[in-house]
Amino acid sequence: MKMIISEKAIAGRRIASILAGKEVPATASGKAIIFSFKRAEQDWVVVPLRGHIVDVDFPKKYSYWLGTDLKKLATAEIEYLTKEKVIASALKSLGEKADEVIIATDADREGESIGVEALNIVKQSKPKIAVKRAYFSAITQKDIEDAFAKLAKVDFNFADSADSRREIDLLWGAVLTRFLSLVSGQLGKDFLSAGRVQTPVLAILVKREKERNAFKSKKYWVVSALFEKDSKNFETEHKNGQMWDKETAEKIMEKKSERGIVKSISRKKRVLARPTPFNTTNFLRAATAIGMSVGEAMNHAEFLYQQGYTSYPRTDNTHYPPTIDLKQILDEMVKVNEFSHLVGEILSRGKLVPSAGEKASKDHPPIHPVSAAPKSKLSERQWKIYELIVRRFLATLSEDAETENQSVEIHVNGEPFIARGQLILKAGWKDVYPYSKITEVILPEMLEGDEVKLLKMNLLEKETVPPPRYSQSSLIKLMEDLNLGTKATRHEILQKLYARHYIAGLKAMEPNQVAFAVIDSLDKYAKRVTEPKMTAELEKEMDLVAAGKKSKKEVVDESRDFLGIILEDMLKNKNNVGSDLRKALQADSVIGTCDKCGKGQLRKLKSKNGKWFLACNRYPDCMNTYPLPQKGKIVSTDKLCEQCGKPVIKVFGKRYRYEMCIFPQCPSKADWKKAGEKKLENTVKKKDSEAISTAVIQKPKQ
């Protein structure tokens, strides 16, 4: 018997059905799901895992936070503990009967590690079993058949590199998190977390927020003018653009007249190059632009991959390899009504010449569609991601767009104003990729020396604005540039920051006061932890493990030594760190001045049964309390309700943000609640709820 190990049940079912040439129903081995079939007169069985079925953890004696010496924790041994005992039992019992085991997990470092975990369990019952590896980038008939026709060897170095990351992340995360939580007294499920990648990413957000807070706006002036030619109105702006001196702008206004003279006209053709194929970072950035969080987008992409509709979603590659049959994919896309006419136009041009980005790697190909997905079989948001991937693929095979850009200089008593127009000469890829729009600005026909009528001249006072907060899209790109995390983990890091309530907001990520305190404390006493350089260096070390140039033990031990040095500095300053964090936690819990006594502050508190509420900090002298929403981050708005005069709070999470009055009997309460529910409804559809990811944080033991 041949035994196949797949990463998840949905992938296992498809692999089994493809190899069997028919649908294979799920059966059971003990309490585990398996898929059994015959192929070439031989028995085959697919055993699906649930991702990692083995956890990395410390021995039980280190479970209690309050009684553990952090120095000993930094040097503690790490155990690999089976968490999915039902699946492990099936692997052992079926392994005894199998002649060969084929690892068919995802073809990346994490997939290799997951496969080797399962293989080690199989070897407990059959140590000398034959082992092969099936590598594929899409779960289609062709890809699976090709992979099983040319089975390879398992790359144990690849698996070790993933496991070295798991061990290092456990060490750094456990030691830093316990330190911050213990010195601040913030234990239980609201503990303060830190990590090798998480902390420098949070530091980036805090640094930007500090830049915004320190920013001092500066006034400037802009002079614009509205002209008319042949009954067509068009806007212009003074050639000088921003003027930092109001007097200069006012002098221009004084030269206003009834007419302007066309002094020069320039025309320039512009080529708007088609986009490059999707790698993971560019895909996630595009997905956030259409209203997805990076976690949700990745979940949908993984689902589409497991269903055989798209290729593997974790890749650095922006070059289609020559082995990809672009014509065959287009023939598949013709079957989808929504894209058939677009595909027809691309095929009518003959030879297919795709675009290519800077990164050409030997891992998976760029993210692309592989088979037709019926819209009726996908949820609304799954379809949204599928359509994005298909349209990007079609855009990479389309023609460049071309425009003619016009610049017309018009003088009013010697003052130059510029009108800018844009004509679309060829829409090209813009026709198939509506996420990047092109706008025409049609100017009236003009010749040098023409007079145009001045309808209105405006003096606009404006102010410079602070640098914008990072969006998920811009932060994911920066993480890639700084080598923080990997293509497979960057979205998970953002999810953790949301889950720990360090940040909030989907379009613009805003850190809270606790985030400031955590980063400020670490900046003072363990600066290397907050800097991207240290994390990037560790990533390079793990690459050496994958290349077989260093052992997992070497890299992990070096990381332990470095962690020990940092811990020493932190422990010397634990009282200062604890004081800073406690002040920040207290400040973050304040919503505003108590509306009843006027002397105390309303603070967020948690009841014995775990419910959040507001209460005056002058209790028992003041008994004022209010209930609070139990989900989402809550902050003060410094506003009072127009209806009842009570404080207004802001409630926000990863995908929603709304305001509401704290007074339960407020006449506006129904409107606040309705507005909040509408926000949620518009962002998270009920049928997609299972696909939306949430970062799971293990409750610490105290």
Q: Which residues are catalytic?
A: 312
Q: Which has the closest alpha carbon to 107: 131, 132, 137? A: 137
Residues ≥6 apart with Cβ < 8 Å to 116: 103, 154, 156, 159
Q: Compute the residue count for the chain.
A: 702
CA distances from 643 to 507, 658, 678 (A): 30, 17, 21
Q: Which two tokens stand for residue 191?
A: 């503990």
* Structural contact between residues 695 and 499, judged by C-beta atoms closer than 8 angstroms: yes
Measured between alpha carbons, how far is 153 from 289 in angstroms, rounded to an integer?
A: 40
Amino acid (1-letter code) at residue 475: L
Q: Are 398 and 274 in contact (CB under 8 A)?
A: yes
What value does the CA radius of gyration of the chain take, rounded to a whole number of Å? 30
**What does the buried/exposed string (b/e) look like for 137-158 if buried means 16 or more CB atoms within 10 Å of the residue's CB?**
bbbbbebbeebbeeeeebbebb
The Cα–Cα gap between 440 and 679 comes to 33
Minimal CA–CA distance to 49: which of 17, 80, 86?
86
**Cβ–Cβ < 8 Å for 389, 157:** no
Q: Is 562 left (phi over 0), alpha (psi -120 to 50) or beta?
A: alpha
395: CB partners within 8 A, 6+ apart = 274, 275, 429, 432, 433
- List phi, psi (to 5°) of 308: 85, 20
CA distance 284 to 306: 18
| Inter-residue contact 295 to 303 (CB < 8 Å) | no
> Using CA atoms, how far apart are residues 191 and 184, in angstroms rounded to an integer?
9
CB 117 within 8 Å of CB 50: no
For strands 100-104 and 130-133, give the pairing.
Answer: parallel
Enter the tokens of residue 582: 């406690």
